[in-house]
A = this chain, B = another copy of it.
Amino acid sequence: MTTNMRSKNTILNPPSKKHLGEQFTRAEVQLANRNSGCLLESLRHDVTPIGQHYLLSHFDVPHVESESDWSLSVCGLVGSPLDLSMQQLKDLPQVCREVTLECAGNGRQFSDPRWPSMPWGVEAVSTARWRGTRLCDVLEQTKPDSSVVEWVFSGADRGVDGGQLHFFERSLTAADAMSPDVMLVWEINDQPLPPQHGFPLRLVVPGWYGMASVKWLRRIEAIDHAFEGYQQVSTYQYRKSDQDPGVPISTIKIKSLMAPPGYPDWSTRNRLLEAGPVELTGRAWCGGGVAVHSVEVGIDENWFPALLHPANNQHAWNRWTFTWDAEPGQHLLRCRATDVEGNTQPLQAEWDRGGFGNNSVHQVNVWVETGLA
């Protein structure tokens, strides 16, 4: 009993002011205040409620009074350049899809040494219902030249990174841009995009990490070479060292999360749970058109197969469930997904210089006892 109480205090008490543990900078905390993850309990929703979708904005959210002032220019190596109003875009055939997006830097907080940037824990993932039109239909209307190698997508957001003032710009190869999956989007969860999600128009690239889904989209340009903008080549690269030229970040790796059971401790976010049967649940997802094959749940050192529920569509996450008979004491709960190509989440992901693509298994510390009700 004494041992148990000591363990409970370890799990549920706030950290002492004398033992600060790993340390983060004020600049990182500023970014964490500004950008926001989903709430893990929202994993119970198929579609993340409005205002809970994770959000990362590099620069300021542009102030756009009305969509009637907005137009999308499609230009460059095309036979018929376009300048489309929002109404013209909305008159095109519409598509509506649930898409899971994840920030490429999700999990950066756990890399050591850690690149100074947004110190995401595990929460930079969400699923929204996006409405818009297919990008490929618009691009084809412009009669692109056969020399087109990439399409460059420019947002209205502008700022400094690495000492360079630039608009947020990303590219896709001609083949990737012409995928029927890629959308020009003006609605999230059946309402107009709020300013911070890209009002009035954004790109959504299903299966890719979030940086590809350019917000506040103003211009698409066809070019005959590989784009070398800051957000394409200076960041969003997997690197093993400072000297590594890098491998471009693209599609989302296999990953899963758990909606933590029981009650949270305010400060540690560890959990207090009533003993007895409890349904554990969470989500699993994978990008690049690769489906989730299975999810296992870890209870301390043992792994058990979870029930994997079908996704609402091919771009949305799967729900998983597992019934656990919780016994009193301290437990470590984990979940681990495997994709249909046989890739399984690592217990600890390989170190990456920018803290990108971290798909380590999610861990939840729980204290179980009886008589809570």
A interface list, Cβ under 8 A from B:
9, 12-15, 17, 20-34, 36-37, 39, 41-42, 44-45, 49-53, 55, 57-61, 63, 109, 113, 116-117, 119-121, 123, 158-163, 165, 191, 194-197, 260, 263-269, 272, 372
CA of A85 to CA of B26, assembled, Å: 46
Q: Which residue of B lies closest to A12 (CB)?
A: B160
Contact of A50 among B63, B194, B265 (CB under 8 A): B194
Residues of B contacting A33 in the complex (Cβ-Cβ under 8 angstroms): 32, 36-37, 109, 119-121, 123
What are 12 sample pairs from A and B whose C-beta atoms fall under 8 A apart? A13-B163, A21-B25, A21-B27, A29-B32, A29-B121, A32-B32, A33-B36, A39-B57, A50-B191, A60-B263, A159-B272, A160-B263
Residues of B contacting A160 in the complex (Cβ-Cβ under 8 angstroms): 12, 263-266, 272
Q: Which residue of B lies closest to A13 (CB)?
A: B163
Residues of B contacting A37 in the complex (Cβ-Cβ under 8 angstroms): 33-34
Residues of B contacting A264 in the complex (Cβ-Cβ under 8 angstroms): 59-60, 159-160
A123 touches B194 (CB 8 A): no
User: If A33-B121, A57-B39, A267-B161 touch, does A17 touch B52 (CB 8 Å cutoff)?
Assistant: no
Apart from A41-B63, A117-B267, what 13 extra A-B contacts exist at CB < 8 Å? A17-B116, A20-B23, A42-B196, A44-B63, A49-B194, A50-B51, A51-B52, A51-B196, A59-B263, A60-B264, A159-B266, A160-B264, A191-B191
CA of A263 to CA of B57, assembled, Å: 13
Residues of B contacting A195 in the complex (Cβ-Cβ under 8 angstroms): 42, 45, 49, 52
Residues of B contacting A263 in the complex (Cβ-Cβ under 8 angstroms): 59-60, 158-160, 165
> Nearest Cβ distance between residue A215 and chain B, in whole angstroms?
13
